[in-house]
Amino acid sequence: MVLIIVILVFLNCTRYNGSVVFNFNIFRSMHKELELYEILLLLDPNLIDNEVNNKIEFYQEFLMGKGSKVMVQNQGRKGLSYAIKKFEAANFIQIVFLGNGQLINLLNSTIRRDERVLRHIVTKLNKTF
């Protein structure tokens, strides 16, 4: 254990005017707790079932690739209370996963680039692991 800490300290030190400066952020990130999040995606209603399944797989693999545990529920196509981007219906996808703030930021930036997502919302559930 001590050897690992010494290696981390050595790798995370930088030289500044001849003195050694340690970056403590590595230990702060190691102690971040994983929290339970839920995301609701509203997808374009013109997508066929195969395309919806591909989107589900993409976001599931994205989260699992970052080390998260994921549970997905496809709630199907439902009507909307009001039009979003001129659509009266949408495919509702609910994803529950473990993550932290960095993962949420990456996920939000990925979703914003996806033109097939009409709207999304991420909520933090009350459980901490």
Phi, psi of 25 (to 5 degrees): -60, -25
**129 band by pLDDT with thresholds 50, 70 and 90:** low
Asked if residue 39 and residue 22 are part of one domain, the reply reads: no
Percent of the chain's residues with pLDDT above 90: 67
Asked if residue 48 and residue 26 are part of one domain, the reply reads: no
Asked if residue 40 and residue 7 are part of one domain, the reply reads: no
Asked if residue 41 and residue 27 are part of one domain, the reply reads: no
pLDDT at 32: 64
Asked if residue 13 and residue 39 are part of one domain, the reply reads: no
User: What CATH number has the domain bearing residue 98?
Assistant: 3.30.70.60
Asked if residue 52 and residue 1 are part of one domain, the reply reads: no
- Residues of the domain holding 18: 1-31
pLDDT by residue (tens digit) across 34-93? 899 999 999 999 999 999 999 999 999 999 999 899 999 999 999 999 999 999 999 999
- State the CB neighbour count (10 A cutoff) for residue 115: 8
Asked if residue 40 and residue 25 are part of one domain, the reply reads: no
What tokens were used for 50? Answer: 């195969």
Q: What is the pTM of this model?
A: 0.71
pLDDT at 31: 46
Phi, psi of 55 (to 5 degrees): -65, -45
Asked if residue 73 and residue 101 are part of one domain, the reply reads: yes
Distance, in Å, from the CA atom of 104 to the CA atom of 82, rounded to the nearest integer, reads 27
Asked if residue 69 and residue 27 are part of one domain, the reply reads: no
